[in-house]
Structure 1
Amino acid sequence: MKNNVRLRFALACGGVFLLAGAVLLVAVFLVVRQSLEPRDGLRQPKAITVAGTTYRPAPTQEDALKAFYSSGGTDVYYVAQQRVAQVRRIYQRDTIKNVLTVGGLGVVAAAAIATAIGWRAAGWVIRPVRSVSESARRIAQSHDLAERIAHDGPEDEIKDLADSVDGILGRLARSYDGQRRFIANASHELRTPLTINRTLVDVAVRRPDATEDVRRLGESLLVVNTRHERLIDALLTLSEGERTVLDRRPFDLADVVEHVLDLAAKEAGENEVTIHRLLDPAPTAGEAVLVERLAQNLVENAIRHNHPGGEVWVSTRQRADRVELMVANSGLPVPSYEIEMIFEPFRRLHGDRLRSDRGSGLGLSIVKVVAEAHSGTVTASPREEGGLTIAVELPREQP
């Protein structure tokens, strides 16, 4: 857990204390000012009589005050009286100023102290949440759904949250195990009959007394059987790729792509397609078998959706924190509005659903799923001359 929540809590504590201190300072200011101001009965001194002599107070108006002093009608009492009033005003002003200055600085300092205390208190409060978060992150990185957070603490909201996450992990583990068993059973149950059919048809075609019609029918059945095997294999790979990669091992993407190109050379020759390769080292990590299937689907897609005499360009390179596999091919022009659809299962360009030799429409779907399982991305763009350019980016494995 980052410090965003902790910082907000600390700033909230400091802000509340600052606001409360400002209100208290205003109240103290009003009380002090009211206490220092003279009451109404003491604002203007009255005339007094001493030893039969009456002393009048000095007038308050400026013009009358000047005339009063110029006429000589004053003495030490009046001068002292005015001096006392002046000192009182200076004292009041300085006192109020000190209250505002010292009180304001005190409030700001106290707010800073409250923010620091709030920071420490927030750290103590969210420590259990950080522990739960770190445990959940560890489980996510290890992909071990059998592990649990198992938070040991008082029965509070954090305990309820940890128990809820453990319950979700338990349900995910059961679902994952069920899916894995289903894939294993489906792989066995679907491939076994197809293997038997292929063997029977092959035996029937190779019989010495087989007629030409039987041979043609057997060859057609073998093509259909092969297509079904590829379809089942693609579906199983798609299902396997949708799960997070469990075993991340380092490998060089260039080596995998070079192996795939060597295997695809025969098919490229049969389709009269020229392959250009520029393979620079591209270290990454993950399931090399799944990445090989990703590259194989891209290369086969580029060869099969091409024209005789066409070309395919394959390159690998590395960047700061990513490695890239780029496969471009010539062929029919691809409208830009069909780019997003080609990564959906059973979607084919130009509505081609009859050409079984071009695949089942799952090749690019598998590419996308495998790339995402490796925390990568897939982008496609049409070439102006016709065909597609597909780029796959995967995280780079630091040495």
Structure 2
Amino acid sequence: MNLRLRLTVLYGGLFLLAGVALLVVTYFLFTRQVGRRVAIISGTPSPGAPSLPSLESLDAQARELREAAATSLLTQGALALTAVALVAAALGWLVAGRALAPLRQVTETARRIAATAAPGGQARIALRGPEDEVKDLADAFDVMVERLDRSFDAQRRFVANASHELRTPLTLNRSVVEVAMHRRTASADVRELGSKLLRINARHERLIGGLLLLAKSETALTEHGPVDLAALVAHVTPPEVAQHLSEAATIGDALLLERLVHNLVENALRHNNEEGFIQVTTRCARGGRVELEVANSGPVIPPAEVPALFDPFHRRARVAAEGAGLGLSIVRSVAHAHGGEVTARAREEGGLVVVVSLPSG
């Protein structure tokens, strides 16, 4: 039972109780007053005086009149009370709806913010009305969203700026190492050291590239266009990977969605067994959605550890040195930026099944 219905029942119930109490008091006072008048009209015979049939008849008629009036009062009063209670319930429903309208506006705004990639975006309540508790709540919500918006924007700008600034020295380091390795006088030890430094440098470059992409995917989309997930899978996935592709059209940024597919396939390849399998499926789902599913074999993953796989910088021990731990984080951010969701479940025999659900286009 929602709050509006509970308030309506409360209003109607209180009115009904007050009406019943009023009807009982009215009935008591009415019967008491009529009883007095009947006693006055019928009179009390003096001692030793003979009783008069006409007075007895008058007394009986008065009592019948009193009982009929009391019954009529109860019947008519109950009918009137029922009618008025229904009207009061209807008015209570309208009043409760009007009183709760600002709260619904708060809820809808919060849902819009949650459905967008940007934490705050331009969604604000901006409630107009008298200065009361509800307006104070709406204003406090707007202030909170504004501060969160500034905080997330500052965080994204910092990550993007830091990543850009770090790319230059890494590029310079790579160039210096390559030059030193390809000198004619370079010894075998120098070439071996150079190879190690290049691998470390490449890993740092992948990390910075992932941070840049993660920062971009967490902002509002600037490019929208029709994208077929099946075509992206066919373009990105190696031929040896099993593919079951059906047309799955959506709307979004083609480059970000291509990176989403690439990260999922790369993650499945990296964490697969030597003789395991990888299967990529695209399909149309219910509710106007399209789905991309990537399943693979691999080591057994405890179900409790599956949610942590989408955290930034989370790496599995076996391949900790091969990745930056941002692949699945980027997948989740890209999916959320497109109004989608990502779910994952561990296979009992080992491996993982990741499903990305996006709005159909």
Residue among 159, 167, 190 paired with 1:214: 190
**CA contact under 8 A between 1:282 and 1:396: conserved in structure 2?**
no
Q: Given residue 297 of structure 1, which amino acid in structure 2 is its aligned partner?
A: N
Closer/same/farther in 2, CA of residues 128 and 278 from structure 1, 3 Å limit: closer
Residues of 2 paired with 1:122 and 1:369: CA distance?
39
**Per the alignment, in what secondary structure is the counterpart of residue 293 of structure 1?**
helix
Shift of 1:109: 1.2
Residue among 18, 22, 25 paired with 2:23: 25
Residue among 146, 149, 160 paired with 1:184: 160
Unaligned 5+ runs, structure 2: none
Q: What corresponds to 1:87 in structure 2? A: 61
5 Å-filtered alignment, 1:158-169, equals: 158-169=134-145
5 Å-filtered alignment, 1:330-369, equals: 330-349=297-316, 351-352=317-318, 356-357=321-322, 359-369=323-333
Shift of 1:325: 1.6
Residues of 1 paired with 2:68 and 2:27: CA distance?
12
Q: What corresponds to 1:61 in structure 2? A: none
Residues of 1 paired with 2:164 and 2:148: CA distance?
24
5 Å-filtered alignment, 1:234-273, equals: 234-243=210-219, 249-261=225-237, 264=238
**CA contact under 8 A between 1:17 and 1:110: conserved in structure 2?**
no
Q: Given residue 343 of structure 2, which amino acid in structure 1 is its aligned partner?
A: V
Residues of 1 paired with 2:134 and 2:223: CA distance?
32
Listed one character per residue, the Cα deviations across residues 185-214 of structure 1 (whole Å, up to 9, x for unaligned) are 112111111111112222222333433333
Q: 240-249 vs 293-302, which deviates more?
A: 240-249
**CA contact under 8 A between 1:282 and 1:323: conserved in structure 2?**
yes
Shift of 1:107: 1.2
Shift of 1:239: 4.1
Residue among 113, 131, 139 paired with 2:87: 113
Residues of 2 paired with 1:95 and 1:230: CA distance?
93
Closer/same/farther in 2, CA of residues 18 and 145 from structure 1, 3 Å limit: same
**1:283 and 2:257 are equivalent in the alignment:** no
Closer/same/farther in 2, CA of residues 123 and 311 from structure 1, 3 Å limit: closer
Q: Given residue 346 of structure 2, which amino acid in structure 1 is its aligned partner?
A: S
**1:201 and 2:198 are equivalent in the alignment:** no
Shift of 1:278: 0.7
Residues of 2 paired with 1:301 and 1:123: CA distance?
50
**1:395 and 2:358 are equivalent in the alignment:** yes
Closer/same/farther in 2, CA of residues 176 and 134 from structure 1, 3 Å limit: same
Closer/same/farther in 2, CA of residues 82 and 248 from structure 1, 3 Å limit: farther
Residues of 2 paired with 1:208 and 1:310: CA distance?
44
Residues of 1 paired with 2:223 and 2:126: CA distance?
25
Listed one character per residue, the Cα deviations across residues 171-197 of structure 1 (whole Å, up to 9, x for unaligned) are 234324322321231121111111111
**CA contact under 8 A between 1:37 and 1:92: conserved in structure 2?**
yes
Residues of 1 paired with 2:356 and 2:172: CA distance?
40
**CA contact under 8 A between 1:314 and 1:325: conserved in structure 2?**
yes
**Per the alignment, in what secondary structure is the counterpart of residue 145 of structure 1?**
coil
**CA contact under 8 A between 1:311 and 1:330: conserved in structure 2?**
yes
**1:229 and 2:205 are equivalent in the alignment:** yes
Q: What corresponds to 2:14 in structure 1? A: 16
**CA contact under 8 A between 1:254 and 1:281: conserved in structure 2?**
yes
Residues of 1 paired with 2:304 and 2:99: CA distance?
52
TM-score after normalising by structure 2: 0.82
Listed one character per residue, the Cα deviations across residues 10-37 of structure 1 (whole Å, up to 9, x for unaligned) are 4443333222111110001101121233
Residues of 2 paired with 1:259 and 1:34: CA distance?
94
**CA contact under 8 A between 2:225 and 2:251: conserved in structure 1?**
yes
Identity %, equivalent residues = 43
Residues of 2 paired with 1:246 and 1:166: CA distance?
25
Q: Given residue 92 of structure 2, which amino acid in structure 1 is its aligned partner?
A: G
**CA contact under 8 A between 1:146 and 1:170: conserved in structure 2?**
no
Shift of 1:218: 1.9
Q: Given residue 331 of structure 1, which amino acid in structure 2 is its aligned partner?
A: G
Residue among 326, 329, 339 paired with 2:293: 326
Cα RMSD for the two superposed structures: 3.5
Residues of 1 paired with 2:309 and 2:139: CA distance?
42
**CA contact under 8 A between 1:383 and 1:389: conserved in structure 2?**
no
Q: Given residue 180 of structure 2, which amino acid in structure 1 is its aligned partner?
A: A
**CA contact under 8 A between 1:297 and 1:363: conserved in structure 2?**
yes
Residues of 1 paired with 2:249 and 2:286: CA distance?
12
Residue among 156, 170, 177 paired with 2:146: 170
Closer/same/farther in 2, CA of residues 332 and 375 from structure 1, 3 Å limit: closer
Q: What corresponds to 1:100 in structure 2? A: 74
**CA contact under 8 A between 1:313 and 1:328: conserved in structure 2?**
yes
Unaligned 5+ runs, structure 1: 58-76, 266-273
Q: What corresponds to 2:342 in structure 1? A: 377
Q: 94-103 vs 233-242, which deviates more?
A: 233-242
Shift of 1:220: 2.0
Residues of 2 paired with 1:214 and 1:326: CA distance?
45
